[in-house]
Structure 1
């Protein structure tokens, strides 16, 4: 007998949750690779720069082998945490939008004021 006799298990089909892929790389990474190699070709006017697509694509392919959503995670990290590292991460040790102190104002009722004091926001 199995240990988990009473637990029902459903298999997970990962296909619908995968991002759009092109040659084993997510679509966003593929477009960025194309733009980079074409820009290098246009600036240098050397056809050999078009061959730079292959090693860059192999690196991106290796990243997508481990996690197909790696580039989406990097994008989300950049939108949420990257600015904190540039500004005030070393002071607050967190991602903050403003280093200013939280100001309550004078028009709060006593009940709301007590609630904020209990939470430690004032």
Structure 2
């Protein structure tokens, strides 16, 4: 199995691409850079953790991915509040990030209980 086979990696990579496309024309460069980095950090840390040889390293990078998911959720809430995101898009992304976060937690729990 490869990290590309993980459903959580595929979903987080797809969400990251959606965020990049959505904010591509944003003139608020600081916000755009921050939200795209948070979104990108999730699948990148999942992949890096998967490629690590030790269980401890794997859990550490997956924990980073989960932390980035929390950061991304916060930024989505703020984007909705300041009307950078419409309610429908924000709600969809929030549901997706919550589910991704749960999936990451399951990955971590699965290797910590071995």
TM over 0.5: no
Larger Rg: 1
Identify which of structures 1 and 2 has the higher relative contact order when contacts are C-alpha pairs closer than 8 Å and 6+ apart: 2
- Which structure is higher in helix share? 2
